[in-house]
Amino acid sequence: MSKFWSPFVRDLAPYVPGEQPKMANLVKLNTNEHPQGPSPKVLDAIRAEADDRLRLYPDPRSTALCEAIADYYRIKPEQVFVGNGSDEVLAHIFMGLFRQSRPLLFPDITYSFYKVYCGLYGIDYQTVPLDQDLSIRLTDYDALNGGIIFPNPNAPTGRLLPLADIEALLRRNTESVVVVDEAYIDFGGDSAIALIGRYPNLLVTQTLSKSRSLAGLRIGLAVGDEALIEGLTRIKDSFNSYPLDRLAVAAGKAAFEDDAWFRQGRDRVVEQRGWLIGQLAERGFQTLPSAANFVFTRHPGHSGADLARGLREQGVIVRHFGKPERIADYLRITIGTAGQNQTLVAALDRLL
């Protein structure tokens, strides 16, 4: 607190990111990073770009990366927007598309940054409760609204919605922007990018932080109708016209070009997810079905807080949200390497 803060700063409720601990030898399963490093071709691309050209500003449109993404999804580069992590892309979406006279709708249990952006940009919102089994039910969003956003799969539950449900929502909801936040889609779902040609109010966001192992570079994207992308570009150019640096553009392009590396890394995570869910079930845990690179799980005999603390004492960090009450006993556990997952299970055995 400082007397120099404006009342606006004093009243903000910022997002609290998962801990990035400094201690070595921790098993870090709390922020959904990929357990394996990026493609060697990505590292080569960064090295090749690290030369005298760094004195020059990067391409303000990140054209090379937008073209690589467009090639990958067989769409036009004009339908692609990139930013410094999908958090920044989402921030622009909230600022530029969701400040409407009607409230924005999103799930009551979801990515907690959505509420933070509403606070930052003064956006009126209404949360829509997840149903009994913690799934999103899109028919509950049939209300007048200034926009709709939800992750698919949802975070922190990991639960996936079928594309048919999303398309049905888009058929009903034609007068406001619908954003599908696909931070985790590569681990088990079908992307709504397939629908963008048919629905001019659909925006799909993705990140290279999870399935493409590049959380440290901060690259995110949005895909949608050209007019929506143009709106986001107007916001970007009123905020920071060079958001992605040269190294990020080169690395992001190489990441989309090395599909083999992406697939094998993703498949390993999916295989380990199956293994971990099985191990948790053997120990009495109740785990939601997950299409993401994490699981959301609870044990009927132990509180979530105790388990998180007990794991931490053994050097294993997982995410425990504590609130709201409905999810107070759940842990969100990122899928690690086979070795990390075994360490987690051994640590749980000592606790149970």
Residues 5-64 that bind ligand PLP (CB under 6 A): 32
- Shortest CB 327 distance to ligand PLP, Å: 15
Please give the single-letter amino acid code of residue 64. Answer: A
Taking residue 235's Cβ as centre, other Cβ atoms within 10 Å add up to 18
Q: Which two tokens stand for residue 243?
A: 């958001």
Q: Does 86 contact ligand PLP by CB under 6 A?
A: yes
Buried b (16+ CB within 10 A) or exposed e, 301-336: ebebeebbebbbeeebbbbbbeeeeebebbbbbbbb
Rounded Cα gap, residues 84 and 187, in angstroms = 22
Q: Does 183 contact ligand PLP by CB under 6 A?
A: yes
Q: Does 220 contact ligand PLP by CB under 6 A?
A: yes
Choose one: 6-14, 19-27, 128-136, 207-215; the region binding ligand PLP (CB under 6 A): 207-215
Q: Does 243 contact ligand PLP by CB under 6 A?
A: no
Query: Residues 79, 157, 207, 341: which binds ligand PLP (CB under 6 A)?
Result: 207
End-to-end CA distance of the chain: give it in Å, rounded: 42
User: Nearer Cβ to ligand PLP, position 153 or 231?
Assistant: 153
Q: Cβ-count burial of 142 within 10 angstroms (0-12 exposed, 13-18 middle, 19+ buried)?
A: exposed
Q: Which two tokens stand for residue 141?
A: 């969003």
User: Nearer Cβ to ligand PLP, position 106 or 141?
Assistant: 106
Q: Does 111 contact ligand PLP by CB under 6 A?
A: yes
Choose one: 19-27, 41-49, 79-87, 131-139; the region binding ligand PLP (CB under 6 A): 79-87
* Of 312, 347, 250, nearest in space to 19 by CA: 312
Residues 312-331 that bind ligand PLP (CB under 6 A): none
Q: Which residues bind ligand PLP (CB under 6 A)?
A: 32, 85-87, 111, 151, 155, 181, 183, 207, 209, 215, 220
